[in-house]
Amino acid sequence: MSASATHTEPVRCHKCRRPLRRPTPDGYGPKCRRKVRRTGRCAATPYPQWQITKAIELLEMGALIPLRANRVFLAVSDDGSEVYRTAASGQCNCPAGLRSIACYHAAAAHLVAAA
């Protein structure tokens, strides 16, 4: 055995923190991904359908990274040049969120927190 052998931590689901057998681009396991998509199809969300569609796309690209216990997230912008801090309560520091307009970053955080 060589001294340079290292132990690597398993890749974990961003939502439930369970170890994943195979890493995924969005960072979620199959059960959590199903829960998030099911929540996106539910009509109980306070966001328009186009924002839900963009939020699901954001989640599928893996551009929503949890910071604190699935309540505060980092969200990447459309072009990938900016990173915004968003919360499941609907607050976001993107240009729309600063004008008190509901944005799809907050919709994605809401979907993950509700699932």
Are 110 and 47 in contact by the 8 Å Cβ rule? The answer is yes
How far apart CA 61 and CA 46 sit, in angstroms, is 23
For 58-100, how does the pLDDT look when each residue is reduced to its tens digit (9 = 90+)? 988 888 888 877 789 999 988 889 999 999 888 899 998 888 8
Of 56, 55, 85, nearest in space to 73 by CA: 85
* pLDDT band for position 15 (cuts 50, 70, 90): confident
Task: Please count the other Cβ atoms lying within 10 Å of the Cβ belonging to residue 45.
Answer: 17
Question: Can you tell me whether residue 55 is helix, strand or coil?
Answer: helix
How far apart CA 43 and CA 10 sit, in angstroms, is 36
